Amino acid sequence: MTTLDFNNVTKIYNVRGAGQIKALDDVSFHLESGQTIGLVGQSGSGKSTIAKILTHLETPTSGEVLLDGAPIPNSGKGLRRYRQELRMVFQDPFASLNPYHTIRHHIERPLRLDHVVAKDQVDAEVRRLLERVRLVPNDVIDRRPHELSGGQRQRVAIARALASRPTLLVADEPVSMLDVSIRLGVLNLLADLQREEGLGVLYITHDLATARHFSDEIIVLNRGRIVEHGSADDVILTPQHPYTRSLRDSSPDPEKHFAGSGSILGGE
Ligand SMILES: Nc1ncnc2c1ncn2[C@@H]1O[C@H](COP(=O)(O)OP(=O)(O)OP(=O)(O)O)[C@@H](O)[C@H]1O
Ligand SMILES: [Mg+2]
């Protein structure tokens, strides 16, 4: 079992001309393999800053991040191991895939860098991963990203994230740029993979209703502070904070959507 602890993290950005922006203010939570946490908040609340700190693209101003109880190493083998353990799926499947490289190349790269399988097994492993995200390998493997639909591209990004056999996955609004009609398919895929692989998932979204369906716990972030954290049902059914209530009331009813009518996912 892998554990991740975000301990009292504060992040201040220094912005030229605008002074300091406190993007995160004393944020703490615990995520472990097998568990999904929905991280919900409006634009600018600090969600992506948490993702960037988790992927080591930003460092905390104060506080710390622990993997299995140990701080994230700043470089070398330790950082590599951390990055193999925790993978990211980004919001924009157009920007996160290189237009010049084939799908095969994108998925082979982490397999080779992290020595996941023997050299003569790489092709079979690429195909296995594509099947894992419900793509037909022969249809996509030698194509480039622009030849795929947005949904297919996001599936490739998920396959690439899984290639290193991570235990934790951070998905930063993974369906918000996709056509409304295919969002649920991609979210269900993520939920299936989470269960089958026993992953710990931090699912970042604007939308409280989808967070409820895909998460064990929900954290509500407002202006860099956690205003609510509890089981998904408790947060939705008996929100303690007015901000959570306003988020809930502005989010369409999930029951209606999942019964097959309108589209809550349109709100993400
Ligand atoms: N590199 C940066 N430099 C300065 N300020 C930044 C930087 N990145 C983020 N911020 C600021 O930090 C705050 C939190 O931003 P963040 O991107 O984490 O929000 P978010 O919740 O992901 O928003 P969204 O839902 O729009 O993606 C915002 O006020 C933002 O303007
Ligand atoms: Mg963001």
Q: What is the pLDDT of residues 144-185, one digit of tens each?
A: 999 999 999 999 999 999 999 999 999 999 999 999 899 999
Q: What is the pLDDT of residue 213?
A: 86
Q: Which atom of ligand 1 lies nearest, measured to the CA of 206?
A: 25
* Tens digit of each residue's pLDDT (9 = 90 or more) over 248-257: 887 765 444 4
Ligand 2 center–CA 116 separation, angstroms: 31
Q: What is the pLDDT of residue 264?
A: 45
Q: What is the pLDDT of residue 262?
A: 39
pLDDT over 90 at 134, yes or no? yes
Q: Which of 24, 47, 176, 206 to mutate to test the pocket of ligand 1 (most atoms within 8 A of CB)?
A: 47
Please provide the CATH number assigned to the domain covering 3-257.
Answer: 3.40.50.300
**Cα(88)–Cα(91) distance, integer angstroms:** 10
For residue 39, give the nearest of 245, 211, 214 by alpha carbon. 211
Q: What is the pLDDT of residue 184?
A: 92
Greater model confidence, 2 or 250 = 2
* Tens digit of each residue's pLDDT (9 = 90 or more) over 34-52: 999 999 999 999 999 999 9
Strand partners, 5: 30, 66
* Tens digit of each residue's pLDDT (9 = 90 or more) over 195-243: 999 999 999 999 898 899 889 999 999 999 999 999 999 999 999 999 9
Contact 206, 41 (CB under 8 A): yes
Domain limits, the chain:
3-257
- SS3 of residue 71 by DSSP: strand
Q: What is the pLDDT of residue 252?
A: 62
* Tens digit of each residue's pLDDT (9 = 90 or more) over 11-38: 999 998 889 999 999 999 999 999 999 9
Q: What is the pLDDT of residue 258?
A: 44
Ligand number, closest to the Cα atom of 58: 1
Q: What is the pLDDT of residue 248?
A: 86
What residues are in contact with ligand 1 under a 6 Å CB criterion?
13, 15, 21, 23, 41, 43-49, 206
Closest-CA residue, ligand 1 atom 1, reads: 13
Closest-CA residue, ligand 1 atom 28, reads: 44
With the CA atoms of 138, 142, 143 and 145 taken in that order, what torsion angle do they form, in degrees rounded to the nearest 10?
A: 110
pLDDT tier at 263, thresholds 50, 70, 90? very low
Ligand 1 center–CA 173 separation, angstroms: 14
* Tens digit of each residue's pLDDT (9 = 90 or more) over 47-76: 999 999 999 999 999 999 999 999 998 888
At 164, list the tokens. 């290193």
Contact 248, 236 (CB under 8 A): yes
